[in-house]
Amino acid sequence: MRMNNRIKEQYAQIASALQLRFDEEYEAIHGNYGGYPVLIVPSSSGSNVYYYMPKICIAAESALGPLSKEDCKAYKKEHAYVSSLSQSGRLVTLVVKNQRKAERLMEAIGTELRNLISYLHSRGFQPCCQVCGQPVPAEAYFVSGGFLQMCEECRVSLNQRMAVQMNRDRSKPENVIGGVVGAALGSLLGAASIILLSQLGYVAALSGLVMAICTLKGYELLSGKLSRLGIVVSCVLMVAMTYVGDRIDWALVVARDVGMGFASAFGYIPTLVNIGMIEASTYWANLLLVYLFVILGAVPTILGVLRNRRDEGKISRLS
């Protein structure tokens, strides 16, 4: 999901107020503040992006060692706008509490950025390259779907390593037969989730998500890569196995209620729909609902795969 124009304008105003830069393409505020390399981006969880709950990222390290969990908890308690503070490697990350109003968002980011810079300075944190740790100027880069604050030397080195890895991945053969087997096994798990959840009285989006992820990941695991062919094969299997799973579900209901064998019930489902023993509107509405959940699970998963492939090996300096 991309920023709308209103949110972009708010982020641009925040960047201007802090004398930083806003990159519209990568939706990130970046630059140098108080002598530290700073990156401000929306926080996220899975496919959800929280523009009004941004995170402030600073590449720095201290000779005294990283921040402890106790340090971070104590800092959070002392600052009203802070949702969390953490350190991973050489990256210190502060998440600002959700601020829906533009003025409060600007105030929260400005206040907590100044507080964090002051805190890091008091703890002996020195600005550095996030990758090598050298106390040299670091710029913000978009790297294969994420962000890094690194020096020019590390950028050149990383670019070379990624190019080698991409060539290896692209030359790696695709085992289509293995992929089809993997997708089939994954779709069986998806069909089982549809049946199980329905027998428990649910028609849940979870079943569609399970179907999509299991089928796509099954192909990728046994083929070695998820190509466009793999996506097409996986989608065909999703459609087919969703129908089979739903029909098995109905067959279980008929077998239980009528006292018919499962195999006979499975074969008679279309006939029972045609003669009205199973209400056609109920049958087709249920099937369409299951397909809807499969689509809701499959589309974000496929878009994520395509987006990751587009960003693979990509290193861009933020403008």
| pLDDT tens digits for range 129-184 | 999 999 998 999 999 878 999 999 999 999 888 878 777 777 778 899 999 999 99
Q: Tell me: do 161 and 243 sit in the same domain.
A: no
Among candidate residues 269, 270, 9, 314, the one with its CA nearest the CA of residue 162: 314
In a shared domain, residues 208 and 302 = yes
* Same-domain status, 19 and 159: yes
Same domain, 206 and 296: yes
Is residue 287 one of the residues assigned to a domain?
yes
193 and 142 in one domain?
A: no
Q: What are the start-end ranges of the E strands in the chain? A: 21-23, 28-33, 36-45, 48-62, 82-88, 91-96, 125-127, 139-143, 146-150, 315-317
How many distinct structural domains can be found in the chain?
2
152: in domain? yes
pLDDT, tens digit (0-9, with 9 covering 90-100), for 96-105 = 999 989 899 9
Cα–Cα nearest to 41, from 109, 130, 107: 109
Same domain, 10 and 132: yes
Considering the domain boundaries, does residue 316 fall inside one? no
**pTM for the predicted model, two decimal places:** 0.70
CA distances from 81 to 43, 95, 228 (A): 15, 9, 45
pLDDT tens digit string along 25-47? 999 999 999 999 999 999 987 66
The answer to whether residue 317 sits within a structural domain is no
Residues 50 and 154 in one domain: yes
Identify the pLDDT of residue 203.
Answer: 64
Domain shared by 190 and 222, yes or no? yes
Q: Is the dihedral of CA 196, 199, 201, 203 positive or negative?
A: positive
Task: Please check whether residues 25 and 141 belong to one and the same domain.
Answer: yes
- Structural domain of residue 121, as residue ranges? 5-165
- CA 91/CA 256 separation, integer angstroms: 59
Of the listed ranges 44-53, 136-145, 243-252, 281-290, the one predicted with least confidence: 44-53
What integer pLDDT is reported at residue 113 of this predicted model?
A: 97
On whether residue 119 sits in a domain, the answer given is: yes
Residue 128 — pLDDT band, cuts 50, 70, 90?
Answer: very high
Kindly indicate the confidence band of residue 106, based on its pLDDT and cuts at 50, 70 and 90.
very high
Please tell me whether residues 212 and 295 are part of one structural domain. Answer: yes
Is residue 156 in some structural domain?
Answer: yes
Residue 171 lies in a domain: no
CATH number of the domain at 18, please. 3.30.1460
**110 and 195 co-located in one domain:** no
* Any domain includes 85: yes
Q: Residue 54: what pLDDT? A: 96
